[in-house]
Amino acid sequence: MKRTLAVPVLVVLVAGWSALGAGGAGGPSPGIKFASSGVLSRDGSTRYVALYANRGTVVESVRTRDGSIDRSVYFRGTYGLPFVAFDGSTGGLSADGRRLVLSTWPAYGRKAFTRFVVLDPRTLRIRSRLDLEGAFAFDALSPSGSVMYLTRFLGGPGSGRYGVRALSLDTKRLYPGAIIDRREPDEKMTGQPMTRTGSGDGKWAYTLYSRTGKSPFVHALDTVHRRAFCVDVPCQLSANDLSKVRLRLDGAHVLVRLGHRVVARIDRQTFRVTG
């Protein structure tokens, strides 16, 4: 049975937009998302939406053509689609359309757990559940969805320190070690994810991070080969302007844009930055 989507809009964002306005020293995950625009399939035909429902979660696949609901599933526990940046960028769907990941809000403390549920987007059946000890947040998926990248927050919610980990969704195990820029292995990762873009095939995810007292940088994540490159973006922008910056792909370059103005160009092969 197909019906038309008619639900109240409820978006859960981290209570940290004030930190963004202040330039932020890092902080918690951007959070999880309920209802609103959900996450769009690669071909644009389907939108996946998570809804809070009486201590449980409803996930619906919605046809973008007419707003009708193709499938719906309920399961216990509060899970949302993961935000990957504070501009409202959403992730969780693999490029091949075979895995959809939802998560709980990252928890902190000695006995904290972060929970994930993996669905088959075609049927909305649960493929697996994962419980990870510690404060984690979804970051990206490999094109096939076999590898999930996670941000693990180190220290308290306001420490700003984090590490990127890779987890096999086939074995449900973390790969050893953090994903780092091997050119700067001793560089500590700090900052807040401001905006995100990625290649259409899901092979690369580019995230702009802000840092207190330093210029922003772009974290370029190779989701196929489990490697990353951190690219400093030398620019003088106020905290307010930085919150409005967006990343766009333009052929061989990642463009860092403030409105119609290109603040910087990053070569996707060499990671050289030009104005």
Per-residue pLDDT tens digits for 155-198: 665 666 788 999 999 999 999 999 988 887 666 777 889 999 99
Classify each residue of 244-265 as buried b or exposed e, where b means 16 or more C-beta atoms within 10 Å of its C-beta.
ebbbeeeeebbbbbeeeeebbb
Query: Looking at residue 28, what is its pLDDT?
Result: 56
Give the residues of the chain that fall short of pLDDT 50: 1-27
Using CA atoms, how far apart are residues 130 and 143, in angstroms rounded to an integer?
A: 20
Sheet hosting strand 192-198, strand order edge to edge: 192-198, 204-211, 214-222, 227-232
Contact 211, 190 (CB under 8 A): yes
DSSP state of 257: E
Which token pair is 3? 């019906």
Query: Looking at residue 212, what is its pLDDT?
Result: 81
Name the pTM for this structure: 0.87
CATH number at 96 reads 2.130.10
Query: Looking at residue 186, what is its pLDDT?
Result: 67
Query: Looking at residue 7, what is its pLDDT?
Result: 37
Per-residue pLDDT tens digits for 112-127: 889 999 999 999 999 9
Neighbours of 224 (CB within 10 A): 14
Name all contacts of 230-233 with Cβ < 8 Å and 24+ positions apart.
230/181, 230/184, 230/187, 230/189, 231/266, 231/271, 231/273, 232/273, 233/208, 233/263, 233/264, 233/266, 233/273
Neighbours of 272 (CB within 10 A): 11
Using CA atoms, how far apart are residues 232 and 220, in angstroms rounded to an integer?
A: 11
Range of the domain at 237: 3-274
The Cβ-side half-sphere exposure at 157, using a 13 Å CA radius, reads: 14
Q: Going by C-beta distance under 8 Å and a sequence separation of 6 or more, which residues neighbour residue 85? A: 30, 193, 194, 195, 196, 207, 208
Query: Looking at residue 238, what is its pLDDT?
Result: 86
Task: Tell me the CA distances in angstroms from 111 to 80, 133, 149, 152, 244, one per residue in order.
Answer: 22, 7, 22, 15, 37
* Count of domains forming the chain: 1
CA Rg, the chain, in Å? 18
Residue 59's Cβ-count burial label (10 Å; 0-12, 13-18, 19+) is buried
